[in-house]
């Protein structure tokens, strides 16, 4: 593509000047990424934190990142007029796009916003029934301001409206370093898995096709030059316009089009089919078109399978709250799939270890493995040191860290193999909860007179109830895009790491400003996650007073989820053409209530197109489905979210969440 651009530049009387030095172009990309991230901070602060018009950072890709991509693609002909810069290549635009996407990912409700709520909740929400302020001193002062008055100002506004940086400076620096360390450890894992997934298994990485199509790298015709794209954009615009009118003027439901298929079933065992809602989410339908039919079929099939489990259990008299424990089955499936992935990748890990022992035998690929393995070892040691120094018992810290990393690896695999376009496609909170279920409250609270370890464990629960470990999805896609666009892998790794650090630091600034100026509880967005954090701390006090034994039903559900995903994997190995995919069961157990409907629609559409039109019909319709997703991002996220952020009023009656 760059050759075509350069030839176009030569069409004038004077040939284009030589391209600037590589250092100048790298500096240009960094400045663009940081500047766009900072500008996006004002947009996110107003739209997500203050008025809550749309959760733009929850989208995959994030709305600010996609906006940066579209903006650079549109303005690239003008950028060439800047001295010492000229136009950006497709690879350089991808670097800026990934920088903004990962950096604004740190602004999201499931990362920094949740962290602030978690470290402040015990100082503000303490009650006589749940005096969680009594365990607040167990949170180290280098992780949260130790004086309750600064937390009260966080929720109710400070007298001057200024941020008390003298008490927040150290926690902000430490947490930014923690995110960088955790993100770097996860990135090292993705590097070690990358060759196995990209070169040997040749996973398709569906979501990377969107930015490449927009830049015209996948087909001779760029995405927005294809008429089918505009049909999809028009369909999404019309659908969103109808939903906006219904919500604003007729009090219709918020968000996307939803049909409750079990609304009339209220009696007998069949009522346990609920919830059975079919969501027509344009982003999931449009990007879900990139997913294989066997995976999309497996997702909706296994979700209905879980609902039928609930009906069967109720009919047999087992009517327990939360049954059939889909999330618990999901974490079991996640952990077993993670073990399988590490087993398959054992050669890469072994090779990386040997390059450390014998560095003189490492080639170019071995050097990359060597650095990744050294980074992984340093990262694991650093994270363990962080957890233990904060107050967790070493055995608990090691188990929790292992589960978090396994879930992150599996999510990265899901993005690489299926392109599932949602950040919450993991068993929500189960990385944390599974340890309570298996060890019981007495196993976690081993010394009721000393609650430091369980308190820190509760504080770090935001890593399982939030979605920071899913940064692995952007990381593995970034490594793949680096190969597709000829970006040096070291430059891509640096981009992904710097984006985490810059995004974390900026996120604290843009969150603490409105909290201390207006008070978190006065904002329409509130302080997301505070109620969840309060419940986690209350559980610690309850466990100290009345410890409960291990939760047997949930333990069985977890083990059965792991056994079932193992059985499905074995069936695929020994039965050619087995129609079910283990990834479908993993996703159904993790976030099936939002995924099954769109993927049912996608499965029907793709099956018809492939059966009666073949691959040509599939490819011909692809721009239309991508346009359907991009049109939703633009109309519901970019335009409507901005109108709500800027004007409020009736524009807040229709909120759009991408999670």
Considering the domain boundaries, does residue 11 fall inside one?
Answer: no
Considering the domain boundaries, does residue 404 fall inside one?
Answer: yes
pTM: 0.92
What local confidence, expressed as pLDDT, does residue 254 receive?
61
State the Rg of the chain over Cα: 25
What local confidence, expressed as pLDDT, does residue 114 receive?
94
Task: Please name the residues in contact with 345: beta carbons below 8 A apart, sequence gap of 6 or more.
Answer: 192, 193, 196
CB 194 within 8 A of CB 484: no
What is the rounded distance in angstroms from the CA atom of residue 601 to the CA atom of residue 582? Answer: 20
Considering the domain boundaries, does residue 506 fall inside one?
Answer: yes
What is the rounded distance in angstroms from the CA atom of residue 222 to the CA atom of residue 469? Answer: 33
Considering the domain boundaries, does residue 74 fall inside one?
Answer: no
Smallest Cα–Cα separation from 131: which of 150, 112, 148? Answer: 148
Considering the domain boundaries, does residue 64 fall inside one?
Answer: no
Task: Please name the residues in contact with 439: beta carbons below 8 A apart, sequence gap of 6 or more.
Answer: 550
Smallest Cα–Cα separation from 249: which of 658, 659, 644, 649? Answer: 649
What is the rounded distance in angstroms from the CA atom of residue 218 to the CA atom of residue 46? Answer: 36
Residue 167, domain extent: 103-657
Considering the domain boundaries, does residue 283 fall inside one?
Answer: yes
What local confidence, expressed as pLDDT, does residue 255 receive?
62
What local confidence, expressed as pLDDT, does residue 361 receive?
58
For 441, the token pair is: 């409250």
Considering the domain boundaries, does residue 243 fall inside one?
Answer: yes
* pLDDT < 50: residue spans in the chain: 1-17
What local confidence, expressed as pLDDT, does residue 592 receive?
85
**DSSP per-residue letters across 480-520:** HHHHHTT--HHHHHHHHHHHHHHHHHHHHHHHHHHHHHH-G
What local confidence, expressed as pLDDT, does residue 17 receive?
47
What local confidence, expressed as pLDDT, does residue 122 receive?
93
Phi, psi of 421 (to 5 degrees): -90, 55
Considering the domain boundaries, does residue 511 fall inside one?
Answer: yes
Q: What contacts 24+ positions apart, CB below 8 Å, involve 370-377?
A: 372/188, 372/191, 372/192, 373/188, 373/192, 373/349, 375/184, 375/185, 375/187, 375/188, 376/185, 376/188, 376/189, 376/192
Residue pLDDT, tens place only, 509-540: 999 999 999 998 888 878 888 889 999 999 99
> How many residues are there in the chain?
659
Number of domains in the chain: 1
């Amino acid at each position: 593509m760059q050759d075509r651009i350069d030839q176009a530049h030569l069409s004038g009387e004077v040939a284009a000047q030589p391209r600037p030095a590589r250092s100048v172009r790298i500096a240009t990309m960094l400045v663009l990424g940081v500047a766009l991230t900072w500008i996006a901070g004002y947009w996110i602060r107003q739209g997500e934190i203050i008025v809550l018009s749309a959760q733009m950072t929850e989208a995959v890709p994030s709305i600010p990142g996609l906006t940066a991509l579209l903006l650079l693609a549109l303005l690239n002909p003008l950028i060439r007029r800047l001295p010492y810069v000229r136009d950006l290549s497709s690879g350089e635009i991808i670097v800026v796009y990934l920088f903004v996407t990962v950096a604004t990912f740190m602004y999201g409700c499931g990362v920094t916003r949740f962290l602030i709520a978690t470290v402040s909740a015990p100082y503000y929400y303490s009650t006589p029934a749940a005096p969680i302020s009594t365990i607040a001193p167990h949170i180290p002062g280098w992780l949260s301001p130790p004086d309750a008055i600064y937390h009260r100002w966080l929720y109710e506004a400070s007298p001057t409206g200024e941020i008390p940086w003298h008490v927040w400076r150290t926690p902000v620096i430490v947490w930014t370093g923690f995110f960088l360390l955790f993100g770097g450890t996860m990135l090292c894992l993705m590097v070690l898995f990358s060759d196995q997934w990209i070169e040997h298994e040749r996973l398709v990485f569906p979501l990377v096709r969107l930015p490449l199509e927009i830049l015209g790298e996948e087909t001779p015709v760029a995405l927005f030059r294809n008429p089918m794209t505009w049909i999809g954009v028009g369909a999404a615009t019309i659908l969103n316009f109808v939903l906006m009118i219904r919500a604003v003027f007729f009090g219709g439901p918020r968000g996307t089009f939803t049909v409750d298929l079990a609304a009339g079933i209220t009696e007998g065992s069949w009522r346990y089919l609920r919830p059975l809602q079919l969501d027509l989410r344009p982003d999931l339908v449009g990007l879900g078109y990139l997913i294989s039919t066997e995976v999309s079929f497996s997702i909706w099939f296994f979700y209905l399978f879980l609902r039928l489990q609930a009906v069967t259990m109720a009919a047999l008299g087992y009517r327990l709250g939360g049954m059939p424990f889909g999330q618990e089955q999901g974490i079991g499936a996640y952990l077993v799939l993670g073990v399988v992935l590490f087993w398959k990748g054992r050669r890469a890990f072994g090779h990386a270890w040997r390059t450390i022992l014998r560095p003189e035998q490492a080639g170019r690929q071995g050097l990359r493995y060597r650095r990744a393995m050294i980074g992984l070892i340093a990262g694991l040691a650093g994270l363990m040191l962080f957890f233990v120094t904060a107050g967790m018992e070493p055995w608990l810290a090691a188990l929790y860290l292992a589960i978090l990393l396994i879930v992150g690896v599996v999510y990265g695999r899901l993005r690489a193999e299926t392109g599932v376009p949602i950040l919450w496609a993991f068993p929500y909170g189960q990385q944390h909860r599974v340890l309570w279920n298996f060890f019981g409250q007495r196993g976690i609270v081993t010394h009721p007179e000393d609650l430091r370890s369980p308190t820190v464990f509760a504080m770090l629960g935001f890593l399982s109830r939030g979605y920071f470990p899913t940064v692995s999805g952007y990381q593995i896609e970034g490594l793949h895009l680096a190969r597709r666009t000829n970006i040096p892998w070291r430059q891509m790794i640096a981009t992904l790491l710097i984006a985490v650090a810059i995004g974390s630091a900026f996120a604290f600034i843009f969150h603490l400003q409105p909290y201390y100026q207006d008070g978190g509880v006065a904002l329409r967005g509130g302080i997301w996650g505070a109620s969840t954090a309060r419940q986690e701390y209350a559980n610690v006090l309850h466990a100290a007073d009345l410890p409960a034994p291990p939760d047997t039903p949930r333990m069985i559900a977890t083990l059965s989820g792991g056994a079932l995903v193992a059985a499905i994997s074995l069936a695929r190995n020994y039965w050619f053409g087995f129609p079910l995919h283990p990834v479908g069961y993993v996703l159904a157990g993790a976030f099936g209530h939002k995924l099954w409907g769109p993927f049912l629609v996608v499965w029907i559409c793709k099956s018809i197109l492939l059966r009666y039109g073949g691959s040509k019909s599939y490819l011909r319709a692809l721009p239309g489905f991508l346009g359907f997703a991009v049109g939703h991002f633009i109309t519901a996220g970019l335009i409507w979210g901005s109108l709500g952020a800027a004007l409020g009023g009736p524009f807040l009656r229709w909120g759009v969440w991408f999670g």
